[in-house]
Structure 1
Amino acid sequence: MSHVGRTHRRIWTEQIMGTVVSIHVITRAGAPSWGEAEAEASFAALRDLDRVFSTYRDDSDISRLRRGDGRTPALDPRVAAVADACAHWEAATGGRFSADWRGWFDPTGYVKGWAVETAARAHLAPLLERDEVIAAGINAGGDLQLFTAPGADWSWRIGIADPAHPGAVIATIDVVNGAVATSGLAERGAHIIDPRSGSPARGVASATVIADGLAAADVWATSAVVAGMDDLSWIADAGTRTGILVGDDGRVRRWIRSTEVSVAAPSPALPQVA
């Protein structure tokens, strides 16, 4: 891998979809600045998707559909595509994720990750075709879609927050290309519902999932919270890269691909023999 030497980072930030979205572009120091147009295009794409899918806007397609005045032919065609994707994920997660459990279509648990990934792949990933650009990424409320140029000696160092100690990290991971999503109960309480029972999910303070794309990472992070600390059966078929669960009882579980891993406790020192 080639060494990138000194680098320069540009950051753009906006409030969209109810969260802070920041875009980061890493270039070689002294190279022409790139990314401003691409950042604005990404923000514009997210604003457009929020216009269609927001459950807080009365004029969104989703709100119209909920009220019963959103005739299918008049809806944005992306609504049907998202509905198909949500049906796929409901099946893939064994019902741990559902956009229909309330009795009406609410794709919130899928749309954010999908929207951010879609905007990033359309507008940020092409930046890597420029020789001066080393990496580009987007952070939407702590959920990340990250890209690195082929051959660049660069990786994104990601800190995984410790839900029991605000401001501290419980682990770090290096990501070259991929997505990181975190879900849990530590910050907002029991707001995640198990669609299978209609009851709040319990036990998982935070679940962080690393996958190729943010749509998948986000769905699996939420599903991990619903599954709970004692059920990792879902990782066998999930196709995630790795992840970590932190329980509200302090337990930690980690996995790589489809296998749970653990860190062995240090062995006690052996007595010295004279």
Structure 2
Amino acid sequence: MTSAERRVWVETIMGTAVSVHAHGTREFVGAAATAASVAQAFAELREADRIFSTYREDSEISRLRRGEITMADAHPLVADVATACLDAERRSAGRFSATWRGWFDPTGYVKGWAVERAARMHLLPLVTQTGATAIGINAGGDMQLGTAAGSDWVWHIGIADPNHPGEVLAIVDVVDGAVATSGTAERGTHIVDPRSGRPATGVRSATVVADSLAEADLWATVGVVAGDDLSWMPGAATRSGLTVSDDGRVRRWMGETEVSVVSYADPAKL
């Protein structure tokens, strides 16, 4: 089964453009039930922004930082994310931390988590509907993607070259899963190494493919913080990924193994 029609919905949430892409028959992409599920996914993200935004004075996170409420008083999702962040800090050997400033700030984790949660609750179940081919959500370049069983659909995801704006460094093919990219190319040195409190340097971008967007987003951030050190990669929940250093060097891995891509000018050496 291949996609005959496509429909895209776009909203600005969490300070970024969030788009949902549905592929399938005209009846599926145009169905009121499909549109309703997309609206519910957007609503989940707006609620996550209301709870976790550090830019909103009335968010649960801002109120926690000011001491107006305790973790026990906050929305139950805050405790869930706090637990996940502590686990991420342990698994990343401190390369990720939501508390390094002295208060709880899950900014580096919560977007991927929230997008994946909205997708699994409201979007990915749609691929079981009659006429569905594939559906995915893209939040500022971080994606959770799904494809109907029996479909030959493949998501072809372009990975931007951070050292050559407008150029594509690689194409990642995904049927079901997530892709996330973190880096300094577009927003500057906004990623901080929590172990030192200084901006992470050395890697301009890190892209990770995983089952889960929360995991992909986490490890993409860790990839930037770790710089040229890939010692974290074997224990990470990733399928594949790549990092691009400031000097343009690219390192790639599949599963738990780093791979090399070698070009030979002399065909006799192949």
TM-score category (smaller protein): over 0.9
Q: Hey, what does 1:215 align to over in structure 2? A: 214
Q: Hey, what does 1:14 align to over in structure 2? A: 11
Q: Hey, what does 1:237 align to over in structure 2? A: 235
User: TM-score, normalization: structure 1?
Assistant: 0.94
Q: Is the 8 A contact 1:22 1:139 kept in 2?
A: yes
* Paired amino acid for 1:47: R
RMSD: 1.4
Q: Hey, what does 2:252 align to over in structure 1? A: 254
Structure 1 residues 224-269: Cα deviation after superposition (integer angstroms, max 9, x where no partner): 000002x111111102000011111010000001001111222525
Paired with 1:269 and 1:71, the residues of 2 have a C-alpha distance of 66
Q: Hey, what does 2:99 align to over in structure 1? A: 100
Q: Hey, what does 2:55 align to over in structure 1? A: 56
Uncovered stretches (5+) of structure 2, i.e. residues with no partner:
none
Paired with 2:265 and 2:21, the residues of 1 have a C-alpha distance of 43
* Paired amino acid for 2:253: W
Structure 1 residues 43-84: Cα deviation after superposition (integer angstroms, max 9, x where no partner): 000001110000000000000000011133321011111100
Paired with 1:65 and 1:228, the residues of 2 have a C-alpha distance of 32
* Paired amino acid for 1:203: G
SS at 1:26 equivalent: strand
User: 1:270–1:92: structure 2 CA closer, same or farther, 3 Å change rule?
Assistant: closer
* Paired amino acid for 2:21: H
* Paired amino acid for 1:253: R
Q: Hey, what does 1:199 align to over in structure 2? A: 198
Matching of residues 60-79 of structure 1 within 5 Å: 60-79=59-78
SS at 2:89 equivalent: helix
Residue 228 of structure 1 pairs with residue 224 of structure 2: no
Deviation at 1:32, TM superposition (A): 6.3
User: 1:93–1:270: structure 2 CA closer, same or farther, 3 Å change rule?
Assistant: closer
Deviation at 1:30, TM superposition (A): 6.0
Uncovered stretches (5+) of structure 1, i.e. residues with no partner:
none
User: How many residues in Structure 1 have an aligned counterpart in Structure 2?
Assistant: 267
Paired with 2:174 and 2:29, the residues of 1 have a C-alpha distance of 25
* Paired amino acid for 1:12: W
Q: Hey, what does 1:264 align to over in structure 2? A: 262
Paired with 1:64 and 1:45, the residues of 2 have a C-alpha distance of 20
User: 1:267–1:52: structure 2 CA closer, same or farther, 3 Å change rule?
Assistant: same
User: TM-score, normalization: structure 2?
Assistant: 0.96
Q: Is the 8 A contact 2:95 2:195 kept in 1?
A: yes
* Paired amino acid for 2:152: D
Q: Percent identity?
A: 60
User: 1:209–1:78: structure 2 CA closer, same or farther, 3 Å change rule?
Assistant: same
Deviation at 1:180, TM superposition (A): 0.4
Paired with 1:259 and 1:267, the residues of 2 have a C-alpha distance of 26
Q: Is the 8 A contact 2:6 2:29 kept in 1?
A: no
Paired with 2:268 and 2:81, the residues of 1 have a C-alpha distance of 59
Q: Is the 8 A contact 1:180 1:208 kept in 2?
A: yes
Deviation at 1:171, TM superposition (A): 0.3
* Paired amino acid for 2:242: I
Q: Is the 8 A contact 2:208 2:220 kept in 1?
A: yes
Q: Is the 8 A contact 1:93 1:234 kept in 2?
A: yes
Q: Is the 8 A contact 1:27 1:33 kept in 2?
A: no
* Paired amino acid for 2:255: R
SS at 1:104 equivalent: coil
Q: Is the 8 A contact 2:51 2:59 kept in 1?
A: yes
